């Protein structure tokens, strides 16, 4: 074990599988580093945590999203007190992530970029104790700031929008460390794709308004009810429903009747950028990664029952920017979509706003900002 801070590895990009977005963001950054010829490894830190800690962090989150989202909102608000609870959090996290610490010290990286606050906390603690001395960057994966992301001594913060930077500066984070890059997404989203051609390649009719229904990376939420509600849309549409890592959901959706509009059910896919490129509207949640991917793909969003907490706050930003509409009641979903599609001028304005807000090159921008600090062996 190397405990003297000697840097022997490349770049570590650290995530935590508490929701799929943190992992996707880390994978995007690892790909962007690789595209620049920089050795980078993605580590999902809950694989190096105690069994119970991992279950609470990851599995409990998914359970609450599906069945008790209001509790998530209460916890989110209760923990959103800047600079409070830090010592108690660190004690708990440190106790349950000793395998991660051993990994970091066995082969210290030249730099670490964190897409979740948990590994950032461990790394900064190691640096304060002079056990490991490497630069640390933190990518905030939502449009709004939560107190859990706040740390002293972070070398780079990467945020989605200028408002988040203003908020952080007011809370004492040095402005020179905060960079408004957008949320890093897979570099594949920066490629131009012709919509009709992409639809044909995916087996979709090329001339029909296409609604992409996103269940997120883990296939969460009342997707079946949502698909049934979309069958009531009066305009001619077709649906593509991405189920994520939820084969049971895929099976149930394939058994649903499609009386008014065709439905293409997609399981887990590594080509979500193609499905987004083929679509006109995204219907679903307002996760930071999904929203950023949709913007990069030129999609107007229809946000349905966002999870209280970070998705509620993401929704506020997206609505204020004019790139989304929101539906809190499924019986009104078809009406709201028909109303939007009937107003071509409004729909065009929203699509223009989408293109203004999109940051498809955020991952490459992050890599460009930090790569100058990597030594010749990086």
Specify whether 175 is located in the same domain as 308: no
Instruction: Tell me how many domains the chain contains.
Output: 2
Q: Is residue 2 part of a domain?
A: no
Specify whether 177 is located in the same domain as 236: no
Specify whether 42 is located in the same domain as 167: yes
The predicted structure's pLDDT at residue 237: 97
Residue 94: HSE in the Cβ half-sphere, 13 Å Cα cutoff: 13
> By residue range, what is the domain housing residue 276?
188-357
pTM for the model stands at: 0.90
Specify whether 229 is located in the same domain as 181: no
Q: For the chain, how many helices (H) and strands (E)?
A: 17, 12
Q: Is residue 378 part of a domain?
A: no
Q: Is residue 65 part of a domain?
A: yes
Specify whether 165 is located in the same domain as 255: no
Nearest alpha-carbon partner for 378 in 7, 1, 2, 3: 7
**CB-neighbour burial class of residue 95 (10 A; exposed 0-12, middle 13-18, buried 19+):** exposed
Specify whether 169 is located in the same domain as 295: no
Q: Poorest-confidence range of 3-7, 129-133, 334-338?
A: 3-7
Specify whether 298 is located in the same domain as 201: yes
Distance between CA atoms of 42 and 21, rounded to whole angstroms? 14
Distance between CA atoms of 133 and 129, rounded to whole angstroms? 9
Specify whether 180 is located in the same domain as 252: no
pLDDT at 6 over 50: no
Q: Is residue 3 part of a domain?
A: no
Specify whether 234 is located in the same domain as 346: yes
Q: Is residue 4 part of a domain?
A: no
In degrees to the nearest 10, what's the CA dihedral of 218, 15, 301, 231?
A: 0
Tokens found for residue 187? 């570099």
- In angstroms and rounded to an integer, the radius of gyration of the C-alpha atoms of the chain is 21
pLDDT at 17 over 90: no
Q: Poorest-confidence range of 62-66, 151-155, 271-275?
A: 62-66
If you average pLDDT over every residue of the chain, what do you get?
Answer: 90
Specify whether 320 is located in the same domain as 213: yes
Specify whether 338 is located in the same domain as 193: yes
pLDDT at 170 over 70: yes
Q: CATH number, domain at 25?
A: 3.40.50.2000
Q: Is residue 318 part of a domain?
A: yes
**CB-neighbour burial class of residue 184 (10 A; exposed 0-12, middle 13-18, buried 19+):** buried
Q: Which residues contact 197 (CB under 8 A, 6 or more apart)?
A: 206
In DSSP terms, which residues pair with 214 in a beta bridge?
Answer: 242, 284
Q: Model confidence over 28-83: pLDDT tens digits? A: 999 999 999 999 999 999 999 888 888 777 777 777 777 778 888 888 888 888 98
Nearest alpha-carbon partner for 334 in 325, 323, 347, 322: 325
Specify whether 195 is located in the same domain as 342: yes
């Amino acid at each position: 074990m190397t405990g003297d801070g000697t840097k022997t590895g490349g770049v570590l990009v650290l995530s935590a599988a508490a929701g799929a977005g943190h992992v996707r963001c880390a994978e995007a950054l690892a790909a962007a580093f690789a595209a620049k010829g920089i050795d980078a490894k993605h580590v999902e830190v809950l694989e190096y945590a105690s069994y119970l800690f991992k279950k609470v962090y990851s599995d409990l989150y998914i359970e609450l999203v599906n069945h008790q989202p209001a509790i998530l909102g209460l916890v989110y608000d209760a923990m959103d007190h800047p600079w409070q609870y830090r010592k108690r959090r660190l004690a708990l996290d440190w106790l349950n992530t000793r395998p991660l610490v051993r990994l970091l010290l066995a082969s210290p990286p030249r730099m670490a970029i964190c897409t979740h606050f948990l590994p950032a906390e461990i790394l900064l603690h190691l640096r304060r104790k002079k056990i490991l001395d490497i630069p640390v960057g933190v990518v905030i994966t939502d449009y709004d700031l939560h107190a859990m992301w706040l740390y002293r001594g972070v070398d780079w913060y990467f945020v989605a929008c200028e408002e988040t930077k203003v908020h952080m500066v007011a809370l004492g984070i040095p402005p020179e460390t905060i960079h408004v890059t957008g949320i890093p997404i897979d570099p594949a989203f920066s490629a131009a794709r012709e919509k009709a051609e992409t639809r044909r390649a995916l087996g979709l009719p090329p001339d029909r308004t296409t609604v992409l229904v996103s269940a997120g990376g883990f296939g969460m939420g009342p997707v079946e009810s949502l698909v049934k509600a979309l069958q009531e849309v009066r305009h001619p549409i077709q649906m593509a429903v991405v189920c994520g890592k939820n084969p049971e959901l895929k099976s149930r959706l394939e058994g649903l009747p499609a009386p008014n509009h065709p439905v293409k059910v997609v399981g887990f896919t590594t080509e979500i950028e193609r499905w987004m490129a083929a679509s006109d509207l995204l219907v679903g949640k307002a996760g930071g990664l999904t929203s950023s991917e949709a913007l990069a793909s030129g999609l107007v969003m229809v946000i349905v029952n966002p999870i209280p907490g970070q998705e509620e706050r993401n929704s506020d930003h997206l609505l204020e920017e004019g790139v989304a509409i929101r539906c809190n009641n499924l019986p009104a979903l078809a009406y709201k979509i028909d109303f939007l599609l009937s107003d071509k001028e409004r729909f065009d304005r929203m699509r223009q706003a989408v293109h203004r807000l999109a940051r498809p090159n955020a991952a490459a921008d992050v890599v460009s900002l930090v790569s100058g600090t990597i030594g010749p062996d990086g």
